[in-house]
Structure 1
Amino acid sequence: AGRALLDALLANNLNVHAWTFRHDQPGPGWPDADSELSAHLQLPLEAVFCDFPRRALACRAVLG
């Protein structure tokens, strides 16, 4: 339902923000915080919120 819900929200011109990413606490099912954040940065989100902005910028830089 995750991606289908995101697509439905975007189809209805709604902005989607994801939060709060923490480098010291990756979400359940993620091997580490960088892989979690990198995966979310590849989604068509309007914004992400991260308590460790330097890590978020580093992940974004790797993605190009």
Structure 2
Amino acid sequence: MDLFFYITVIVALSLIYYGYKHKAELSLKEKEIELEAKKVDLESKKLDFAKKNQEEHM
């Protein structure tokens, strides 16, 4: 076979691997952002509960 064919196959496989790896990293970052949003929401609910609880005791 031709050297050009082997180079083409290697480049194609490298690009497929890079795309898969990049997609996995983006998926992980997306899940981290979702988790951070849930933490912020939970903290907000805690503060609201504490504020409501404090108003009831006054």
- TM above 0.5, one fold? no
Structure in which a larger fraction of residues adopt strand: 1
Give TM-score, length-normalised by structure 1: 0.21
Give TM-score, length-normalised by structure 2: 0.23
With CA pairs under 8 Å and 6+ residues apart, which has the higher RCO, 1 or 2?
Answer: 1
> Quick check: which has more Rg, 1 or 2?
2
